[in-house]
Amino acid sequence: MSETPALPDLVDSHCHLDFPDFEGQQAELIARANALGVRRMVTICTRLRNEPAVRAIAEAHEGVFYAAGTHPMYAAEEPLLAVEELVVLARHPKFVGIGETGLDYHYTADSAIVQAESLRIHIEAARRTGLPLIIHSRDADEDMARILTEEHRVGAFGCVMHCYTSGPELARTAIDLGFYLSMSGIAAFPRSTEIREIFAAAPRDRILVETDAPYLAPPPYRGKRNEPAHVVHTARLGAEALGMTEAEFRAQTTANFDRLFTKAAA
């Protein structure tokens, strides 16, 4: 009796292993993910003051890489970054991306001006380092499309629209600029038909997959703490939505990740 072929490895392109939800549990979380073929993950620092702790997690675990920046919801609370700060951090061998940064008008529209200023600083750091920009966008589609388009005219940079839940117009703008869309557990929710349609319309070579752990757990864990191992459930749904086999989806999204996150490439 022949054995079932092993599925290709999978990458969790965006998680937050430093968050309190995971305190003291990183080793077991990573082991659970590895056992399911999730061999690599990028843990994201959302406030630069936490960068040393995030870096330490990446240094302690093979297959864990990290990125750092100021999340847009914290842009008004944190000191405005200098481009050079990010450029210096990017010299670390496991530092693979700039952000997350972006615009969030859902809860923090009152800080829109400083969010945009912070975003442009991160974009310049992405240009200078050659590392991909990691974008968070919520209820800010028009401004996000405008800023990304303006900045791309100034000089090209790589970018992923993390946890993509915005509209089809911003998705088209991102794709036209050469950017990537990342699928989170939200895409696996029963009512997320429009999001699945956006991903189905996107080029297959521009799609990543992520957890955003500890948030946004896909079914059957919806409403519970998310973790990198759960990216396999989003990948199964993603494969179905895109008319691919699970093996094809895993292989494609991993190849896409390697193309964008070159420092973390297998």
On whether residue 193 sits in a domain, the answer given is yes
Residue 157 backbone class (left: φ over 0; alpha: ψ -120 to 50; beta: rest): beta
Task: Note the pLDDT of residue 266.
Answer: 67
Was 136 annotated as part of a binding site? yes
Mapped onto helix, strand or coil, the DSSP state of residue 8 is coil
Total of domains in the chain: 1
Identify whether 63 is part of a domain. Answer: yes
Q: Is 162 annotated as belonging to a binding site? A: yes
> Is 16 annotated as belonging to a binding site?
yes
Tens digits of residue pLDDT in 15-60: 999 999 999 999 999 999 999 999 999 999 999 999 999 999 999 9
- Please report whether residue 217 resides in a domain: yes
Residue 142 is assigned to a structural domain of this protein: yes
In-domain check, residue 7: no
Q: Are 200 and 9 in contact (CB under 8 A)?
A: no
What CATH number is associated with residue 129?
3.20.20.140
The label of the residue with tokens 């940079």 reads 157
- In tens, the pLDDT along 197-246 reads 999 999 999 999 999 999 999 999 999 999 999 999 999 999 999 999 99
Residue 158 clears pLDDT 60, i.e. is over it:
yes
- Rounded to whole angstroms, the Cα distance separating 40 from 30 reads 9
**Structural domain contains residue 2:** no
- Triad 61, 85, 125: Cα angle to 5°: 90
In a domain, 5, yes or no: no
Is 6 within a domain? no
Q: Is 100 annotated as a binding residue?
A: yes
Q: Which domain holds residue 218?
A: 12-264
C-alpha–C-alpha distance, residues 121 and 142, integer Å? 19
Q: What is the C-alpha separation between 111 and 230, in angstroms, rounded? A: 33
Short-list 115, 125, 198, CA closest to 158: 125
- pLDDT per position as a tens digit, 91-141: 999 999 999 999 999 999 999 999 999 999 999 999 999 999 999 999 999
pTM above 0.85, yes or no: yes
Looking at residue 1, its pLDDT comes to 42
